[in-house]
Structure 1
Amino acid sequence: MSFTPPAEFTTRPTLRGTFGMAASTHWTATATAQAVLERGGNAFDAAVAGAFVLHVVEPHLNGPGGDLVALIRPAGAPRPVVVMGQGPAPAGATIEHFLSRGLDLVPGAGGLAAAIPGAVDAWLLLLRDHGTWDLADVLAYAIGYARDGHPLVAGAAATIARVADLFARHWPTSAERWMPDGSPPPPDTLVRNPEWADVLEGLIGAGGADREARIDAARTRWMTEVLPEAAAFIRRPHRHADGGDHAGILTADDLASWRADYEAAESVTFRGWDVFKAGPWSQGPALLQTLRLIENADDEQLDPATAEGAHLLLEAQKLAYADRDAWFGDGDGAVSTDALLADDYIAQRRTLIGPAASAELRPGSPDGRAPQLPPLRTDAAVADGSTGEPTVDRSGQTRGDTCHIDVIDRWGNAISATPSGGWLQSSPTVPTLGFCLGTRLQATWLVPGHPASLLPGRRPRTTLTPTLLTRGSEVVAVGSPGGDQQDQWQLPVILRILVGGYSGQQAIDAPTLNTTALIDSFWPRTWTPAGVTVEDRMDADVLAALEARGHRVRRTGDWSLGRVTAVGRDGDGILWAAANPRGAQGYAAGR
């Protein structure tokens, strides 16, 4: 083995079997998905059931008013496809409207930042086209936990405590929902959401003569009855992350014009594996570009546990994310992946990786145009401590994350899915519905001409970035929460599995790191030149060598970075699963 040998013991075994495997960021969602497999459902039935449970048990990390990106590979399909659950900006979401409110960024919390919610419609689309179960059976798990209750996970309790003052002073419906006794509930409090249970039962009751018709009826009710009620609610002025009171702009007409869909996946080949991601409306192609930038390195040069390997990964990712920040977006102006991944452009970018850490943001010109970047804001320029997406902040402290779920079944169906947005601290709870809307528009810019500029009908560039890898009959489904860190935390895991020979659990357990030398996708949109956060378990000599190369190293604790889960199928047909131990919340199950 050319990599540093893995630790002799892991936090848990890599699960192996032949029947089916599930892994997610919450044990209840994993158990739900596995229960569906045990009852004869396929991987897509299981993932949808688990995802609706995630809405209930991880309300601080995702919700029905959020969004979704998934990669699926139906058994026998030649290529994975993308399930696109990222809704666009409303018709009223113009740069001029936001500037007229005295804003130079889209706020990180509040209904003004709501795009069209895409998660629920995307999950129902997947269930209709690739699942086998009836809607009532799939939703029964989530309805049960919402109506009968579930123990509040520690992270959700901590999140409610952090925003308790906001709820009490400005968002009374959220206070009623999450602090019914007037104070934040402690961990393991039994919490219920009967309003959301009623909504789900209403979707089941939408009618239809057969399975597909019932799902379509539920999709119609969701988009034309349920979500318009939420949109009307957030059009009342309420407190936003900038400290001002604004009214939301999402309307019923916006919702009526949009539905989730499928898209072709982008891919590169790395060490004999095909790696699939969503397009440049996500950050997925940045991982593909990183793999191309490092593909000519010897195996031992790719080891994240060495100074040489860590430096190479950090510098390659800086270049890839600089291109992301200049070129990624939806529609006109966005880079084509053909240009981004072209041989001559990759060779040109690779020459910029030197022995010292770069402290510059260096986007290139993949199709000959000059790159455009918004004004750079450093941490020092933002003094109010406000936060956008609940992810890992610049100090490495966790203020939440997103969610992730992977499932593979005995027939060979596989899915990697990252749902997010609409978390309980996004905007005020709609009291009759039990959920709130998301804030994905904060990932857009209030400057014209950028590929990620705010435009009506354009999708905000999302950080959600699940991954599928295939090699013949072999498959790996992997993903992670973490905002801008999602692919950065996946990369060392992928390298350790594909190149280093680690098992899934060994790769996930191993200490990791990520760069902060990119423009944060979430309000207040800062960057830290040459910054890198690392887990303290990394070798001290390696960290000293990185500092000697000019990296600004910030240690964040022994088990602080990475939220990766993964499932897979080996060439001999054996299935496996592994899950992140950090935070004592993610679990895998299978047999």
Structure 2
Amino acid sequence: MAFTTRPTLQGTFGMVGSTHWLATATAMSVLERGGRAADAAVAAGFVLHVVEPHLNGPGGEVPMVLSVEGADPVVLCGQGVAPAGATAERYRDLGLDIVPGSGPLAAAVPGAVDAWLLLLRDHGTWTLRDVLDHAIGLAEHGHSPVPQVAATVASVQELFTEHWTSSAALYLGADGPRTGQLFRNPDLAGTWQRLLAEAESAGPDRDTQIEAARRVWREGFIAEALVAAAGTPTVDSTGTPHAGFLEADDLAGWEATWEQPVSVDLGGWTVHKAGPWSQGPVMLQQLTLLGDVELATLDVDDPATVHRLVEGTKLAMADRDAWYGDAMPVDLDALLSPGYGDARRALIGDTASEDWRPGSPTGTAPQVPEHARRVVAGEVTHEVGGGLGEPTVQHQEPQRPDPVAPPVDADGTTRGDTCHLDVVDRWGTMISATPSGGWLQSNPVVPGLGFPLGNRLQMAWLDEGLPGTLTPGRRPRTTLTPSLASYQGRPTLAFGTPGGDQQDQWSSHLLLRLLAGFARDRSLDLQAAIDAPNWHTNHLVNSFWPRGYEAASLVLESRVPESTVDALRRRGHRVSVGGPWSEGRLSAVARHPDTGLLLAAANPRGMQGYAAGR
């Protein structure tokens, strides 16, 4: 039996896994009081805004994949679009070659709140007041923040003190976030209390109140404050004050949307992801590269398998960098076709490739961003952690012994971290959600609201004519990528992780471990798959400012056997060994297809993710 830090939870009533114990406890308490999975997820989602403000907030976004009572999975897109005034030309006229990593120029239309409210309206049963109760209480009366919050604030203390004074007022000083002391955000509590009051004044009906709250968010006092904040010149990651382009019409004109997922089959399983406006198809491409593998014989830890998975990740990520976006120019069916998978698989040799190799699924040559080409060629170098000036030195993602805080620089630059939440209820509804953005380090706190705007537009390009070109009304291609898998047509597994560009690496490894184990003995040991030593490669164009690239890189946890490390180095991988528990923040829930038992597990890394259920 594989070593696990905790058991995989088993029960029949309901299960939750998330990146913070207070979100998990909130969701489980909702289920215990008769709420459904959607009610539980929404309540927990708003709690994550309070307890993980360095990883997500109301000004950010959330994609979800869900199945309601065993029905076909659907995607809920809570990724906002570029404002009408945010054209690539206007950014280039400012002397920019890429979108800043922080500040108003990086702010898309916030999408998270409307998505949570739409989920509550369409698939929940509770009132808005009931689901907001936990978040309001924690913001008003306080909670003990995890150490990562204080570590993030410390990273940007000078920025807050000298430039982002509204953030300094909340996060610095005697009442700032410190583990073991209560941290309060009274402005955020007041924002939700006022939202509730205005929503409830619209009438007694639950749906009427939810729709009224959506209007207040998009057109009322919150929208007015967000627009004012976006129009205020603010020092960003370039070291220069810039105002953004978010206007009232941008907020009023955008709503979260229901969409069909993109899916591929592997064995008796079907994996469902959001479309190419997300990173989701990267996992699906990795699976198509394994079309010749018998799952029962797959050993995810064998050095030869790790090599093959790393090389497959490089190919899938290169296609992401070249083809994905809200206006994808190639047929997604062609990108995920077995024939294209076979052709890409043929490129995998016995040694690590150092090349960036986007493919041509329809015979059209990829059009790549000039900045990406220069980064891959080593012509662009960037400083990390050097303050607010012009970057000059090659970016290398810092390696920490264990995850203590997301990699945040003094200018607010953050290279990818977020939250995750999975819920399954006794009626069979299953939800996987990855809320992110609107980090405390993405923009100044909006006065009176208690939260900042996001910075997701940094993932758009300023070259014209690309799938990911910054374009008004288009979604930036995000890294957020929740997952749901069905077995023989029945939704079975919901899972995901924070981690920016690593999300569809860590999640793919989890999935393959589970599918291989199930093929051998019908087991679904979620905790063992989460606890297993993990890895990632940075052989990709980083999605976050300043868009680095590390050819043939491979980062392994130190629990990986030394013989495996040596074997991978002999194959040409540039291996770095991190801490024993430094790769991944996965959580998962499942409904076992044989027994009907509900299962849950969460990541022990960082000592804050937990699962609960009965």
What TM bracket, shorter-length normalisation? over 0.9
> Does 1:521 pair with 2:504?
no
Q: Is the CA contact 2:484–2:491 (under 8 Å) kept in the aligned structure 1?
A: no
Choose which of 328, 345, 360 in structure 2 pairs with 1:350.
Answer: 345
- Aligned amino acid, residue 600 of structure 2: A
Against the structure 1 CA distance between its residues 505 and 516, is the aligned structure 2 distance closer, same or farther, given a 3 Å change threshold? Answer: same
Q: Identify the residue that residue 600 of structure 2 maps to in structure 1.
A: 577
Does 2:505 align with 1:488? yes
State the partner residue of 1:443.
459
CA-CA distance at 1:491 after TM superposition: 1.0
**Pairing of 1:51-66 with structure 2 (within 5 A):** 51-66=45-60
Contact 1:227 1:255 in 2 (8 A): yes
2:133 is paired with a residue of what secondary structure?
helix
2:110 match: 117
339-348 or 520-529, which deviates more: 339-348
> Which digits, 9 at most, give the CA deviation of each residue in 1:139-192, with x for residues without a partner?
00101001111111111111001111110011010000111339x643233111
Amino acid at match of 1:394: E
Deviations 1:467-517 (A, max 9, x none): 000114451000000000001001111111111346100000000011110
2:233 to 237, 250, 268: 237
Q: Which amino acid is the alignment partner of residue 14 of structure 1? A: T
Task: State which drifts further: 473-482 or 540-549.
Answer: 473-482
Q: Does 1:429 align with 2:445?
A: yes
SS in 2 for 1:508: helix
Q: Which residue of 1 aligns with 2:18?
A: 24
Indicate conservation of the 8 Å contact 1:287/1:487, yes or no.
yes
Determine the C-alpha separation between the residues in 2 that align with 1:301 and 1:98.
51
| 2:289 corresponds to 1:289 | no
Equivalent residue letter for 1:129: D
Partners of 1:437 and 1:295 in 2: how far apart?
A: 42
Equivalent residue runs for 1:18-417 within 5 Å: 18-77=12-71, 79-181=72-174, 185-205=177-197, 206=199, 207-225=202-220, 226-299=222-295, 302-331=298-327, 333-374=328-369, 375-377=373-375, 381-385=381-385, 394-397=397-400, 398=403, 399-400=405-406, 401-417=417-433
Question: Contact 1:387 / 1:524 at 8 angstroms: preserved in 2?
Answer: no
What TM-score, normalized to structure 1?
0.95
- Name whichever of 464-473 and 407-416 sits farther off: 464-473
Q: Partners in 1 of 2:598 and 2:159 — Cα distance?
A: 46
Q: Unaligned regions of 5+ residues in structure 1, if any?
A: 1-5
2:257 & 2:363 partners in 1: Cα distance? Answer: 32
Cα displacement string for residues 213-262 of structure 1 (whole angstroms, at most 9, x for unaligned residues):
11000000011121231121231111100111111211111111111110
Take 1:152 and 1:372, find their aligned partners in 2: how far apart are those partners?
45
Unaligned runs of 5+ residues in structure 2 are 389-394, 407-416, 519-523
The Cα of 1:10 is off from its aligned counterpart by: 1.1
Deviation digits for residues 88-115 of structure 1 (CA, Å, limit 9, x no counterpart):
1001111121112121111101111000
Say if 2:528 is the partner of 1:535: no
Contact 2:64 2:482 in 1 (8 A): yes
CA contact (8 A) 1:300 1:309 kept: no
Q: Distance in 2 between matches of 1:244 and 1:475?
A: 49
Aligned to 1:554: 576
Q: Indicate if the aligned counterparts of 2:13 and 2:613 stay in contact, CA closer than 8 A.
A: yes
Q: Distance in 2 between matches of 1:581 and 1:386?
A: 32
Q: For the Cα contact (< 8 Å) 2:288–2:337, is it kept in 1?
A: no
Tell me by how many angstroms 1:557 deviates.
0.8
Q: Encode CA deviations 1:35-87: one digit per residue, 9 max, x unaligned.
A: 0000000111000000000000000000000001000100041x100000001
Counterpart-to-counterpart distance in 2, 1:10 and 1:347? 36
1:387/1:34 CA distance change after superposition, 3 Å: farther
> Equivalents in 1 of 2:438, 2:78: separation in Å?
13
Contact 1:108 1:387 in 2 (8 A): no
AA matched with 2:430? A
> Is the CA contact (8 Å cut-off) linking 2:149 and 2:177 kept in structure 1?
no
Structure 2: distance between partners of 1:208 and 1:221: 14
What is the CA-CA distance between 1:409 and the residue it aligns to? 0.4
Deviation track 1:386-435 (CA, whole Å, cap 9, x = no partner) reads 699xxx97344454220000000001000000000001000000120000
Secondary structure of 1:534's match?
A: strand
- 3-state SS of the aligned residue for 1:347? helix
Q: Do residues 457 (structure 1) and 493 (structure 2) align?
A: no
Match of 2:521 in 1: none
Q: Secondary structure at the match of 1:156?
A: helix
| Contact preservation (8 Å) 1:110, 1:427 | yes
Name the CA distance, whole Å, in 2 between partners of 1:268 and 1:384.
38
**Helix, strand or coil at the partner of 2:286:** helix
Kindly indicate whether the alpha-carbon contact (under 8 Å) linking 1:301 and 1:309 is maintained by their aligned counterparts in 2. no
Q: Does the 8 A contact of 1:15 with 1:577 survive in 2?
A: yes
Q: Distance in 1 between matches of 2:492 and 2:186?
A: 39
Contact 1:228 1:255 in 2 (8 A): no
**CA deviation after TM superposition for structure 1 residue 556, in Å:** 1.1
Query: Is the alpha carbon distance of 1:238 and 1:232 closer, same or farther for their aligned partners in structure 2, counting shifts above 3 Å?
Result: same
- Report deviation, 1:204: 1.6
Structure 2 counterpart of 1:3: none
Q: Distance in 2 between matches of 1:395 and 1:297?
A: 35
Q: Distance in 1 between matches of 2:464 and 2:297?
A: 41
Q: Distance in 2 between matches of 1:185 and 1:469?
A: 38
Determine if contact 1:304/1:512 at 8 Å carries over to the other structure.
no
SS of 1:377's partner is helix
For 1:393 and 1:590, the matched residues in 2 are separated by 40
Which letter maps to 1:554? S
1:331-350 CA distance string (max 9 Å, x none): 2x443320101222111111
Cα distance change, pair 185–81 in 1 and its aligned pair in 2 (3 A): closer
SS at match of 1:381: coil
What residue identity is the alignment partner of 2:38? F
CA distance in 1, matches of 2:396, 2:206: 44
**Matches of 1:396 and 1:298 in 2, distance apart?**
35
Contact in 2 for aligned 1:469/1:475 (Cα 8 Å): yes
With 304-313 and 333-342 compared, the bigger mean Cα shift is at 333-342
What amino acid does structure 2 have at the position aligned with 1:195? D
Which of 5, 9, 13 is 2:7 aligned to?
Answer: 13
2:50–2:138 contact (8 Å) kept in structure 1: yes
The structure-2 alpha-carbon separation of the partners of 1:121 and 1:188, relative to structure 1 and needing over 3 Å to count, comes to same
State the partner residue of 1:512.
534
Name the % identity: 55
CA RMSD of aligned residues (A): 1.7
